Amino acid sequence: MLAIAVTILSCKSDKKETAETTSETPLDSVTVEQAPETAKIEVQPISHATFVLTYEDTVIYVDPVGGAELFASMAKPTLVLVTDIHGDHMNFETLEAIAYDGLPIVAPKAVAEKAPESLKSNFNVLSNGEQSSLKNVQIEGIPMYNLREEALKFHEKGRGNGYVLTLGGKRVYISGDTEDIPEMRQLKNIDIAFVCMNLPYTMTVESAASAVLDFKPKKVYPYHYRGTEGLSDVETFKTLVNQGDKSIEVVQLDWYKQ
């Protein structure tokens, strides 16, 4: 496992920002890209679908679940992304514990509709295909859904969001729960990708590798890889990707250390 200690910077402002929408640091932190000059994007895996991205003073919590104690050593968020309504992505207790006045929470409509009154003003609804600009981050909602007949009940098209972020001049793709859908395969100019792979809920490592070889991110992190039969074989995923394209860097972190 690649592990580099990093310093996560605190955000500078709690001031609420309006979206413009159109149609001590754990050892598992790792610097994933070098942006211009000294600025870096950093990623801290928390568990399964939950992680923290940091760029300068921008701190993005992705699908924060599991309780506020998991984030006690983190800088407080400047932005939160939620992908879907399932409990491994959406947990309002955790959101209420980490939220403050003006913290934008970006989520699909299905999530926002379930939010308690205490969080309603924090939510910024983003649908598949829509774009928004918040806290100096460009955000695009990307479809996430199942393709296999037996899995259609898990994630219907249009309900949840994957995301493409433009952060520090880099394009970062977060798959959410999805199979190897055309919208993923057709992505362009992705610098960093987080790709799920677990059965029966999302896809096999073979399908994930095939999709990655189509959209060719510079760097890919297998995440969200625990299914009903245990952990998916991320070593096989890495092998398949690098057999197809040696230029794609596959980075494996420990998402299940707890």
Residue 43 included in any domain:
yes
**Mean pLDDT score, 132-157:** 89
> Residue 147 belongs to a domain with what CATH number?
3.60.15.10
Structure tokens at 173: 């793709």
**Count of structural domains within the chain:** 1
Structure tokens at 80: 């939160």
Q: Which pLDDT score, from 0 to 100, does residue 190 have?
A: 97
Structure tokens at 149: 């007949």
Q: Which pLDDT score, from 0 to 100, does residue 39 have?
A: 58
Residue 75 has pLDDT above 50, yes or no: yes
Residue 258 included in any domain:
no
Whether residue 33 contacts residue 173, with contact meaning beta carbons closer than 8 Å, is answered with no
Tens-digit pLDDT profile for residues 112-139: 999 999 999 999 999 999 999 999 999 9
Residue 35 has pLDDT above 80, yes or no: no
Q: Which pLDDT score, from 0 to 100, does residue 31 have?
A: 45
Residue 96 included in any domain:
yes
**Mean pLDDT score, 141-151:** 87
Reported confidence tier of residue 15, pLDDT bands at 50, 70, 90: very low
CA distance 171 to 163: 10
Residue 37 has pLDDT above 70, yes or no: no
Among 36, 11, 47, which residue's Cα sits nearest to residue 254?
A: 47
Residue 49 included in any domain:
yes
Q: Which pLDDT score, from 0 to 100, does residue 81 have?
A: 98
Residue 214 included in any domain:
yes
